[in-house]
């Protein structure tokens, strides 16, 4: 590839490099910014390593390079790339790092290579745990982006490149630093940077993992930073309607412009991701998970006008069931007044052999048999693996009038939505 004069002198200085310190150079892994990375081997302990080399042009640049050694070197976490060594070679600085044999998340941020939503959430969950650990150690990464999050051969997350990390409580040097598309508003405005900066950047990564689109696209840095400060990203469900609504809510909170409206810690971010994973993976809830179940159910659109205490009462008294794809939940003509709320998944409503509708997260079915006391008018089949809340009418009848009112209000809202959808489908 062609190099600028500076780049050429940089690479010329590393020509014919065979060894550095106690490390044998095997091959170049990549280059970017002001650094080049080699695959090396420790001659003494026979361990493969990544060697990141930089040639600072000033004392300040050299100091910044070793910030990575100081900040990442004090971190020991399974989801953070380990720093083994730091030294100087001629007029170059180098770090010896854990070698991760796997791709970065950049590979999975394009429309034709997206991971399943549950896997994407698992990755962000692991990144949250790693960043929470770093924050508790007093380190803010400040440059979270897809290319700085790797997956090893086993699929484990590894966060790398603490090159512009800041120690919490220390004042950052003047000037905007970070990668524009993943900067927080406070970074873009050269404001005070805290741990919520990493949360915003990770929200950008999650948005991209789920949609294949950048949250704040633009042709130049000015356009991107203007959008980060002033504009909301395109709704994820508009790009990818099959995503559960809870994921859009979580990403929306991570991307809040106001730091106070964002998650206040990566652990709080992770807690909500854990709730979402329950629905995405179809895990059967255990008794000791009641709090997480309540949180998840409360996120479902049908229950969002209920209080958390009311949802807890419903969870305590009713069954949450998993229905595998292809199973019939209710059959046309059967006599039953049990009704269901879809917590996750999609179901087909069939009248005879004709599919008349598809319903998903937050919708209800079977309520007409309960309200009118009539036989089922259609068959409902799981179109994907589903998690449903099964509600017995005898339970509803014992509820307070205020909760019964919420049920009937939401039944009516669902009915209006269906009629509106049917009208549009028939051109009415």
293 located within any domain: no
Say whether 143 is catalytic.
yes
Check whether residue 77 and residue 186 sit in a common domain.
no
Each residue's pLDDT tens digit, 97-141: 999 999 999 999 999 999 999 999 999 999 999 999 999 888 899
Number of domains the chain is built from: 3
CATH of the domain at 197: 1.10.510.10
**Total number of residues shown for the chain:** 428
Sequence-separated contacts (24+) of 258-262 with Cβ below 8 Å: 259/186, 259/194, 259/196, 262/196, 262/199, 262/200
Average pLDDT score over the chain: 84
User: Is the pLDDT reported for residue 168 higher than 60?
Assistant: no
301 located within any domain: no
Query: Given the structure tokens 């390079």, which residue do they identify?
Result: 65
Which of 144-148, 160-164, 172-176, 422-426 holds the top average pLDDT? 144-148
Which pLDDT band holds residue 50 (cuts at 50, 70, 90)? very high
User: Is the pLDDT reported for residue 57 higher than 90?
Assistant: no
> Of the listed 7, 12, 87, 143, which one is catalytic?
143
What is the pLDDT at residue 395?
Answer: 77
Residues 369 and 208: their CA atoms lie apart, in Å, by 42
Stretch 136-160: mean pLDDT: 93
Check whether residue 87 and residue 110 sit in a common domain.
no
59 located within any domain: yes
Residue 132 contacts by C-beta under 8 Å, 6 or more apart in sequence? Answer: 265, 266, 267, 270
Kindly state the helix (H) or strand (E) to which residue 88 belongs, with its residue range.
strand 83-89
User: Is the pLDDT reported for residue 82 higher than 80?
Assistant: yes
Check whether residue 197 and residue 54 sit in a common domain.
no
Residue 404 phi, psi dihedral angles, 5° rounding: -60, -40
Which of 204-208, 320-324, 331-335, 406-410 holds the top average pLDDT? 204-208
For the chain, how long is the longest CA-to-CA vector? 85
Check whether residue 339 and residue 361 sit in a common domain.
yes
What is the pLDDT at residue 173?
Answer: 44
User: Is the pLDDT reported for residue 171 higher than 90?
Assistant: no
Q: Minimum mean pLDDT among 109-123, 276-290, 306-320: which range?
A: 276-290
Query: Given the structure tokens 């361990």, which residue do they identify?
Result: 47
For residue 373 the two structure tokens come to 């006391």
Residue 229 contacts by C-beta under 8 Å, 6 or more apart in sequence? Answer: 185, 188, 189, 257
CATH of the domain at 30: 3.30.200.20
What is the pLDDT at residue 281?
Answer: 60
Domain boundary among 262, 281, 300: 281
162 located within any domain: yes
29 located within any domain: yes
Check whether residue 87 and residue 127 sit in a common domain.
no
Domain boundary among 79, 98, 117: 98
Domain boundaries, position 72 = 5-98
Domain boundary among 58, 80, 98: 98
Each residue's pLDDT tens digit, 327-351: 999 888 887 778 898 888 889 999 9
Check whether residue 272 and residue 369 sit in a common domain.
no
CATH of the domain at 325: 2.60.120.10
Residues 220 and 235: their CA atoms lie apart, in Å, by 22
Check whether residue 121 and residue 69 sit in a common domain.
no
Check whether residue 111 and residue 88 sit in a common domain.
no
307 located within any domain: no
What is the pLDDT at residue 10?
Answer: 61
Contact 151, 102 (CB under 8 A): yes
Contact 209, 119 (CB under 8 A): no
Stretch 390-406: mean pLDDT: 81
Contact 265, 315 (CB under 8 A): no
Check whether residue 176 and residue 239 sit in a common domain.
yes
Check whether residue 92 and residue 117 sit in a common domain.
no
Strands, E, within 345-392: which ranges? 347-351, 354-359, 364-365, 379-382, 386-391
Check whether residue 84 and residue 176 sit in a common domain.
no
Q: Are strands 166-167 and 48-54 parallel, antiparallel or unpaired?
A: unpaired
Which pLDDT band holds residue 407 (cuts at 50, 70, 90)? confident
Query: Of all residues in the chain, what percent carry a pLDDT higher than 70?
Result: 87
204 located within any domain: yes
Residues 380 and 345: their CA atoms lie apart, in Å, by 13
Which of the two residues, 79 and 415, has the higher pLDDT score? Answer: 79
Give the CA distances from residue 346 to residues 27, 242, 256, 341, in Å, rounded to whole numbers and listed in that order: 49, 9, 30, 11
161 located within any domain: yes
Each residue's pLDDT tens digit, 414-424: 778 777 765 55
Residues 67 and 172: their CA atoms lie apart, in Å, by 12
Check whether residue 26 and residue 83 sit in a common domain.
yes
Which of the two residues, 396 and 222, has the higher pLDDT score? Answer: 222
What is the pLDDT at residue 422?
Answer: 59
Q: Is 221 exposed, middle or buried (0-12, 13-18, 19+ CB in 10 A)?
A: middle
Q: Minimum mean pLDDT among 1-5, 114-118, 175-179, 222-226: which range?
A: 1-5
């Amino acid at each position: 590839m062609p190099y600028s004069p500076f780049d050429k002198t940089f690479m010329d200085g590393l020509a014919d490099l065979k060894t550095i310190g106690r490390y044998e150079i095997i091959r170049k892994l990549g280059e970017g910014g002001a650094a080049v990375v080699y695959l090396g081997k420790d001659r003494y302990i026979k361990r493969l390593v990544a060697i990141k080399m930089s040639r600072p042009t000033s004392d300040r640049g050299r100091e910044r390079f070793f910030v990575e050694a100081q900040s990442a070197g004090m971190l020991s976490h399974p989801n953070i790339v380990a720093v083994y060594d730091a030294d100087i070679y001629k007029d170059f600085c180098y770090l010896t790092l854990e070698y991760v044999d796997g791709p970065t998340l950049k590979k999975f941020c394009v429309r034709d290579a997206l991971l399943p939503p549950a896997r994407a959430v698992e990755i962000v969950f692991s990144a949250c745990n790693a960043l929470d650990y770093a924050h508790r150690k007093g380190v803010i990464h400040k440059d979270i982006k897809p290319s700085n999050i790797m997956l090893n051969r086993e699929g484990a997350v590894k966060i790398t490149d603490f090159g512009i990390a800041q120690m919490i409580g220390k004042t950052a040097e003047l000037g905007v630093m970070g990668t524009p598309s993943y900067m927080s508003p406070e970074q873009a405005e050269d404001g005070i940077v805290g741990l919520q900066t990493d949360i915003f950047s990770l929200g950008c990564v999650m948005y991209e993992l789920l949609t294949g689109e950048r949250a704040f696209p633009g042709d130049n840095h000015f356009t991107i930073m203007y959008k980060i400060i002033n504009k909301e990203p395109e709704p994820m469900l508009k790009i990818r309607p099959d995503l559960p609504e809870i994921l859009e809510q979580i990403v929306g909170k991570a991307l809040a412009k106001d730091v106070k409206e964002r998650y206040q810690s990566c652990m709080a971010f992770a807690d909500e991701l854990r709730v979402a994973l329950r629905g995405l993976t179809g895990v059967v809830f255990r008794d000791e998970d009641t709090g997480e179940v309540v949180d998840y159910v409360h996120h479902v659109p049908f229950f969002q006008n209920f209080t958390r205490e009311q949802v807890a009462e419903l969870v305590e008294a009713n069954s949450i069931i998993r229905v595998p794809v292809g199973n019939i939940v209710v059959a046309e003509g059967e006599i039953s007044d049990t009704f269901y709320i879809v917590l996750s998944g999609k179901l087909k409503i069939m009248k005879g052999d004709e599919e008349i509708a598809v319903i998903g997260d937050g919708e209800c079915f079977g309520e007409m048999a309960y309200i009118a006391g009539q036989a089922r008018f259609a068959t409902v089949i799981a179109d994907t693996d589903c998690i449903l809340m099964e509600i017995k009418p005898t339970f509803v009848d014992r509820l307070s009038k205020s909760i019964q009112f919420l049920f009937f209000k939401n039944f009516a809202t669902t009915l209006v939505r269906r009629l509106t959808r049917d009208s549009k489908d028939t051109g009415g």
